Amino acid sequence: MDLLGPSLEDLFNFCSRRFTMKTVLMLADQMISRIEYVHTKNFIHRDIKPDNFLMGIGRHCNKCLDSSVGKRKRSLAVSSSQDPSFSGLNQLFLIDFGLAKKYRDNRTRQHIPYREDKNLTGTARYASINAHLGIEQSRRDDMESLGYVLMYFNRTSLPWQGLKAATKKQKYEKISEKKMSTPVEVLCKGFPAEFAMYLNYCRGLRFEEAPDYMYLRQLFRILFRTLNHQYDYTFDWTMLKQKAAQQGASSGGQGQQAQTPTGKQTDKPKPNMKG
């Protein structure tokens, strides 16, 4: 059992639901790598969302934790940076594998078969279009979900949030309809073209196709350099905490310091849903 820091949803709220492009791009780089790591272990996550990405809390977090929680589900907190300047505070961890599923055999590497008429598994807001359509999920769906997470951070909300319906099933149908009727270019309008390129690439992947994780990372790394940002791991919340600490010091310790969200323990996977 390891205590990790706040989730990206917590930190998004802490930053008044505004992330700079620098923070979004630094997060995107790590998030792609964390999902790639899970896929190399023959699992798909199936619930990619801000709540399931947690920041580390210190130097002891620079490792990969891999603990069994049952016969076939795993709870992984993944971090794999070799950069000595990259402290545990800057590392991102992917948690909560209650909905994870093995997508290929460890020994034969045989991929699970394509199927339809599946129940929606995961969080509707970030679910892939194919997941809404009842198609068996694979690696492409985790990557598409990440694209929606990134646009959520960019836009502060997604077009299919806040839809009202009488039942959960009807609400999911409305979300699906809105998601499918919103062109990627409209969703990403006003933001760098790389985000639309990312989503169009993920939506174009075949069921068994392995995503080109390096290509996706490079999309955002090149954009990052083009914008003249420095990879110093200074996130928006880092700046807020430093500013609050300085204000507190200048007022003789009487000032109110910014309260960072509390950490979480990673040994409590949520109940599985049918998928």
What residues are annotated to the active site? 47
Alpha carbon distance 61, 77 (integer Å): 9
Burial class (CB in 10 A: 0-12, 13-18, 19+), 270: exposed
CB 135 within 8 A of CB 114: yes
Determine contact, residues 57/4, Cβ cutoff 8 Å.
Answer: yes
**Helix, strand, coil percent content, the chain, rounded in steps of 5:** 45, 10, 50
Cα separation of 252 and 111, whole Å?
62
Containing 102, the helix (H) or strand (E) segment is strand 101-102
